[in-house]
Amino acid sequence: MQKKQLNFLLCSLRKGTQFFLMAFFSISMLAHGQSKKPNIVFLLIDDLGYADCGFNGGKEILTPNIDRLAKEGSILKNHYVQPVCSPTRSALMTGRYPTKTGIYNIVTPGAQWGLPLNERTLANALKEAGYHTAITGKWHLGEFEKAYQPNARGFDHQYGHFFGAIDYFTHVRNNQLDWYRNGTQLKEEGYSTHLIAKEACSVIEQHAPSKPLFLFVPFNGVHSPFQVPEQYTEPYPNLEGNRKKLAGMLAAVDEAVAQIVASLQKAGMLENTLIIFSSDNGGPPPGKNTPLRDFKATIYEGGTRAAAFAHWPGRIPAGKTIEGAMHIIDWYPTLVGLAGGSLKQALPIDGKDVWPMITKAGKSPHKAILSVSTRGPSQAAIRMGDWKLIVADAEESDSASQKKQPKKYEPVSLFNLAEDPGESRNLASTYPDKVATLRKELSLLLKDAVAPGGK
């Protein structure tokens, strides 16, 4: 921040309360190294494998547009999410762990619950900061009452579906159409990835320059059912079955990303737009999470570490890989800070501002990062530095034994992720003092955990 700018803002504060909010927001933006509020486009890919895109080690599937954006920005090597979709979305929208919101598992169609109504959302916070807010894609945080739908949670514009696993062509799930514009059911033909991208491009190209834009694009691709127009699978004659279909589905998402970037360029917005790309959880089979262990719905790294990057020309270093650990909860305070918004709210925020880590190769602001399973706090993991501890309740072990199935987790597991990213060697018996340290910190993080939503 330039000294003259700071002095001017401080003088404004002294002149009277009428200048307070303007000066507060200006100071916040200048502290983040900018003088103009950025547009924000958040691309959330459903069930994307950690190693399915080229930028993160993938070799089988062509993702040239995604890879180009990643190369022009910084790859987030240790970007954590939740093991399934609704908990990740709630964490992004609130900056709070599932232990605070009760969203540990998937919100199912017609369920009489959703993201609690007392939660302030990222869309609320950015709208208060002067943004036009839009969502095109999958919501998955409740719909049984209008109060739980996106238009009541801070979004000026909504398009897409409320739940997952819809038919990509008919947009039907369980014999019910799940396709809406601003909460009104919409019968529309077309492949959902194409339609979501088209709407996102329309939002960008029709956007009035008088306001900054927050555009949330949660694609349902590449989540099952495995459906894609045939031309997208033609480049993959060596792949078979659902792996071949997934390749085509990801290729369609890659094309959609290119269209969104082209619209930003056409609208003259690209240079002042922060683009964030992430999966909502680790990929399930046939997705690949190499070299991480296991898949979606687990609290192993293959379930909770997402392929991710951040892109902003001139603001985020190009061609870098950020090693510091972060969680999707961190985008809430980071984006609100960049927007010059207020983080004063009734409910405490778990996320940390990761902007210095991303832009200046700083250290992770976290002492520890929490992962909680779909069962809730009884199965949880904590990462501190290179060390990760998983603690699973006896009930899970007993249940697996009764069904004569291998246990998913040992009661206590300790891994050194720097030496063993695949979590193949349980070091709990070798380092009991390390187990005790991490277990104490985990207990603090779980101390006030709420019951699962809907109960």
Q: Which residues are catalytic?
A: 85, 140
CA distances from 309 to 26, 72, 284, 317 (A): 27, 10, 20, 11
CA distance 198 to 130: 25
CA distance 359 to 161: 34
- Stated as kind and residue range, the H or E segment containing 358 is helix 355-360
CA dihedral (350, 41, 88, 277) in degrees, to 10, reads -110
- Do the bridges between strand 132-138 and strand 213-218 make them parallel or antiparallel, or are there none, so unpaired? parallel
Amino acid at 393: D
CA distance 93 to 402: 39
CA distance 247 to 63: 9
Nearest to 380 by CA among 87, 51, 78: 87
The count of other CB atoms within 10 Å of the CB of residue 16 is: 8
| Angle subtended at Cα 269 by Cα 157 and Cα 44, rounded to the nearest 5 degrees | 55
CA distance 90 to 82: 10
Evaluate whether 143 touches 113 at the Cβ level (below 8 Å): no
Nearest to 145 by CA among 121, 114, 187: 114
Evaluate whether 263 touches 343 at the Cβ level (below 8 Å): no
- Ordered DSSP codes for 380-414: EEEEETTEEEEEE-HHHHHHHHHTT---SS-SEEE
Question: SS3 of 327, please?
Answer: strand
- Stated as kind and residue range, the H or E segment containing 68 is helix 64-72
- Ordered DSSP codes for 231-264: GGTTT-TT--HHHHHHHHHHHHHHHHHHHHHHHH
CA atoms within 13 A on the CB side of 348: 5
Beta bridge partners of 172: 177
